[in-house]
Structure 1
Amino acid sequence: MKFWKKKSSKEIQDRISKALSENRSFYDEPILGMPASHLDSKIFPNNNPILKDAPFLQTLINNPNHIGCHTIAQSESTFAGTQEIEKQLLNIIACDIFKANENEYDGYVASGGTEANMQAVWIYREYFKKEKGAKQSEIAVFCSTDTHYSLPKACNVLSLDLYKIQVDDDTREMSPESISATLDRAKSEGKKYIIFTSNMMTTMFGSVDDIDMIAKCLKESELEYKIHIDGAYGGFFYPFAQEESILNFENPEVSSITVDAHKMVQAPYGTGIFLIRKGFMKYTHSKDASYVKGEDYTLVGSRSGANAIAVWMILSSYGSYGWAEKNFVLKKRTDWLCNKLDKLNIEYFRHPDSNIVTIRAEYIDQDLAAKYYIVPDNHHNPKWYKIIVMEHVGIEHLELFLDDITIPA
């Protein structure tokens, strides 16, 4: 892992002020041809004193549109200043966290992990069609039964068949036998091209898929494939908790990665990141967007530049060492909780490099779940409840929960 520099509040403020000055201003310039403007001045006046030392809010009311993919082509010069910060943010995530080489990746700040996962599936569907002559019916998406619901949603929208692989109830792992059997079934049903989503901490369990095993099974199947990493939850935690992680661009099996900044980074909602190896974004090139400088490659189209600024600000305020330290504290806090649960003989699942602890439902009654806002795997018939040790979850909160938990006779 490379390291990004920690910046002072003044350095962050100055950098964003410079970026905004390099954007064209809806307040001061005769911008006549764009279907956009700054935020409504009656509700969001730009002379409010609160904006003085608030670079994110300054960006928000200026309302830059980051439409397009700025790592691949020309972009709207109207917002060149803040687009450059988005590119710097992508460099931190792609190169410093996920070990990509400079200029060997593309990506953008998406609306969240759902969009980013769908972008990956869309790209690979088009890649297989355009490069391999695949028929739509020959392409399939694979994932575990613990994978986020965005994958079934993506398959629905993109009209692709989905194959879910069962996981072990205790380990939350797929077996090589179950993967191979599902691949054999897909082959018998005419599938020739596989888009496999591998998890970097599932949303419910924090479990991590074995990409080496997945790749081995795919090779043995002799089907063509691409592997996408869904790190929507774990992308800003797991690489710091597990320094030997191979879920990054140093691994040739990894083609793309999704991460969410509105989870562990605590950025505003609607902030995910999509990263992919250079050369693949072209498969979703929307040439019909000819009125957009550089045209478009993304699923979403128009998107707020303020969200990219928010993530850049947060990561820059920590630097890589500060970010690692923050995650170290959360991991140790999770260790503490697990030690207490062990002493109470309470059954749970926790990946050792995760800050999610998922407890079997027989230990959590509805009143306890409601009191502590503990989330079930299924609201209709819960089998598990999860605790996520986020920054706001202190030992004092966990102690209260442990005092209230009931151990079945």
Structure 2
Amino acid sequence: MQSMTKLNEAEAVALFGNRFLTEMAPSTAFPESGMRPLDALRLVGAELTMEGDPQRNLATFVTTWMEPEAQRIIAENLHRNFIDHAEYPISAEIEQRCVRMLADLFNAPGETTGCRTQGSSEAIMLGALSLKWKWKERRQAEKLSADRPNLVFGGDVHVVWEKFCRYFDVEPRIVPLSENKYTIGPEDVAPHLDENTIGVAAVLGTTFTGHMDDIVGINELLLEVKKQRGLDIPLHVDGASGGFVWPFLYPDSKWDFRLEQVRSINVSGHKYGLVYPGIGWLIFRETADLAKDLVFYENYLGKTDATFTLNFSTGAAMVLAQYYNFVRLGRAGYTYVMSQLQENARALATNLRESGRFEVIGDELEQLPLVAFRLAGKNNAYDESDIAWQLSAERGWMVPAYTLPPNADKVKIMRALVKETMNREQVERLTQDIADACKTLDHKGGATQTEREKAKTGTGY
């Protein structure tokens, strides 16, 4: 009987797999040679299996699912460089269509301007830079010094606001929070305003609890300051999360350009705009609110273009995907989606409250489709971080536990985002898994510090 032929390494790899089944993946030195496309695909795929399931990631605000038709648009346009308006003028036109649609959604009173950005972080940087330059223009017109700008915002903002102040030499005047007060209002802002204030930033849908600052009250304060003190201080609304929620769930709630001092708004298309990362938008009330000194003109792509971004080359795919969502869903569709998210969030909040273990925070107020909650009463055996770790370890849910900003940092809460892919059955499953995690912790006590550090938490901007 003929013996089995021994395969050489190349033949074995071709038949059964690739060499990285038994070798470490390249990670430090640049590889000397390449590999077959299939091997590279397997290698990257094997690495990603160690990550969490995006559909169970209730920590991130970022979109984790889009319709197949939208995915096709994205896949077919990944090669398209958005900034090259000479070669891709339709992509540029579609961006401006989106800007005009958002201006309409946010009730801009007339002709306006804006742009797509790489998420809300870039949009906030640009919007705040325009606040600084417009303030500088006013000061110089009055022959006053413009070397001590400050910006007022609450401790409930995303870290990008503090980044802006540090990167661009602006004094941050941060209003601290307090226990049972997790947003800011006019009484908090008033003491911080002076002739060097370039603007006030208010949040529509905070990362921490999903609520909004008292934007109406802050607007009224700024109108009074303009009347009594002659200081025209603009208001920027950080609608990164809420800009695609409030117009559909709370259409009568005034927070946008219906308020006189609101001069600019940012929103993340890759959050409740329902587009994959990363796409953001910056919209001005009117064209005069964009500082002219921040607009640059270039023609080295074959056509003279005005640019107002921190980035240059970037893909057009997510702009096209945003436009797809606008025409696919319209107001009626976005309202339907947000209403379903809100309904499931309320169901989860009710389940957690009725369990007797948890206090739900502010679900009677206008809020993003999420549930912010914490353990009810005193519990010395374990805390919210232990529950987050247990949920991740046992069932793969990523539900963050974190402390609130100063001076509310003694309060630790958990937050579960309700996503478009979460149906009612999953709401009930999550409820049961939280209950099971608590029962396990009742028996064994809290996690060790090492275990807690392994718990998956985080947010996306």
Q: Which secondary structure does the structure 1 equivalent of 2:209 belong to?
A: coil
1:358 and 2:383 are equivalent in the alignment: no
Match of 2:351 among 340, 344, 351: 340
Pairwise CA distance, 1:56: 2.9
Match of 1:178 among 176, 183, 188: 188
219 and 87 in structure 1: CA distance in 2 versus 1, 3 angstrom threshold: closer
- Are the aligned partners of 2:82 and 2:91 in contact in 1 as well (CA < 8 Å)? no
66 and 195 in structure 1: CA distance in 2 versus 1, 3 angstrom threshold: same
4+ runs deviating over 6 angstroms: 379-382
1:387 and 2:416 are equivalent in the alignment: yes
- Are the aligned partners of 1:144 and 1:164 in contact in 2 as well (CA < 8 Å)? yes
1:201 and 2:205 are equivalent in the alignment: yes
Aligned partners of 1:81, 1:249: CA distance in 2, in Å? Answer: 28
Q: Which secondary structure does the structure 1 equivalent of 2:78 belong to?
A: helix
Partner of 2:402: 377
Match of 2:103 among 70, 75, 94: 94
Aligned partners of 1:99, 1:219: CA distance in 2, in Å? Answer: 19
Map Cα deviations across residues 251-271 of structure 1 (whole Å, 9 max, x no partner): 212101100011123312120
Q: Which secondary structure does the structure 2 equivalent of 1:303 belong to?
A: coil
Aligned partners of 1:372, 1:284: CA distance in 2, in Å? Answer: 47
Q: Which secondary structure does the structure 2 equivalent of 1:307 belong to?
A: helix
Partner of 1:402: 431
1:329 and 2:340 are equivalent in the alignment: yes
Q: Which secondary structure does the structure 2 equivalent of 1:60 belong to?
A: coil
Aligned partners of 1:232, 1:93: CA distance in 2, in Å? Answer: 13
Aligned partners of 1:170, 1:178: CA distance in 2, in Å? Answer: 15
Letter aligned with residue 139 of structure 2: K
Partner of 2:75: 57
- Are the aligned partners of 2:185 and 2:218 in contact in 1 as well (CA < 8 Å)? no
Letter aligned with residue 348 of structure 1: V
Partner of 1:143: 153
Q: Which secondary structure does the structure 2 equivalent of 1:347 belong to?
A: strand
Aligned partners of 2:153, 2:99: CA distance in 1, in Å? Answer: 26
- Are the aligned partners of 1:201 and 1:234 in contact in 2 as well (CA < 8 Å)? yes
Partner of 2:122: 115
Partner of 1:271: 279
Aligned partners of 1:247, 1:89: CA distance in 2, in Å? Answer: 20
Match of 2:389 among 367, 383, 400: 367
155 and 204 in structure 1: CA distance in 2 versus 1, 3 angstrom threshold: same
Letter aligned with residue 131 of structure 2: Y
Aligned length: 344
Pairwise CA distance, 1:287: 4.0
Higher mean Cα deviation, 119-128 or 257-266?
257-266
57 and 100 in structure 1: CA distance in 2 versus 1, 3 angstrom threshold: same
- Are the aligned partners of 1:284 and 1:298 in contact in 2 as well (CA < 8 Å)? no
Matches of residues 231-270 of structure 1 in structure 2 within 5 Å?
231-270=239-278
Aligned partners of 2:119, 2:246: CA distance in 1, in Å? Answer: 18
Aligned partners of 1:129, 1:54: CA distance in 2, in Å? Answer: 46
218 and 99 in structure 1: CA distance in 2 versus 1, 3 angstrom threshold: closer
Aligned-residue identity in percent: 21
Q: Which secondary structure does the structure 1 equivalent of 2:115 belong to?
A: strand
Aligned partners of 2:307, 2:219: CA distance in 1, in Å? Answer: 32
Partner of 2:133: 126
Partner of 2:177: 167
Match of 1:320 among 323, 327, 331: 331
Q: Which secondary structure does the structure 2 equivalent of 1:197 belong to?
A: strand
- Are the aligned partners of 1:227 and 1:255 in contact in 2 as well (CA < 8 Å)? yes
Aligned partners of 2:101, 2:187: CA distance in 1, in Å? Answer: 38
Partner of 1:81: 90
Pairwise CA distance, 1:120: 0.7
Partner of 2:162: 152
Q: Which secondary structure does the structure 2 equivalent of 1:275 belong to?
A: strand
Pairwise CA distance, 1:83: 1.1
Letter aligned with residue 329 of structure 1: Q
Q: Which secondary structure does the structure 1 equivalent of 2:371 belong to?
A: strand
Q: TM-score, normalised by structure 2?
A: 0.68
Aligned partners of 1:301, 1:266: CA distance in 2, in Å? Answer: 24
* Unpaired segments ≥5 residues, structure 1: 1-42, 44-49, 68-75
Q: Which secondary structure does the structure 2 equivalent of 1:256 belong to?
A: strand
Aligned partners of 1:337, 1:386: CA distance in 2, in Å? Answer: 11
Aligned partners of 2:150, 2:175: CA distance in 1, in Å? Answer: 13
Q: Which secondary structure does the structure 2 equivalent of 1:54 belong to?
A: helix
Aligned partners of 1:157, 1:294: CA distance in 2, in Å? Answer: 27
Match of 2:216 among 170, 191, 212: 212
- Are the aligned partners of 2:219 and 2:262 in contact in 1 as well (CA < 8 Å)? no
Partner of 1:304: 315
Aligned partners of 1:358, 1:168: CA distance in 2, in Å? Answer: 16
287 and 264 in structure 1: CA distance in 2 versus 1, 3 angstrom threshold: closer
Larger radius of gyration between Structure 1 and Structure 2: 2
- Are the aligned partners of 1:194 and 1:224 in contact in 2 as well (CA < 8 Å)? no
Aligned partners of 2:97, 2:127: CA distance in 1, in Å? Answer: 22
Q: TM-score, normalised by structure 1?
A: 0.76
Pairwise CA distance, 1:214: 1.3
Map Cα deviations across residues 96-148 of structure 1 (whole Å, 9 max, x no partner): x211245x211111001111011111011011112332644432111111111
Aligned partners of 1:147, 1:93: CA distance in 2, in Å? Answer: 22
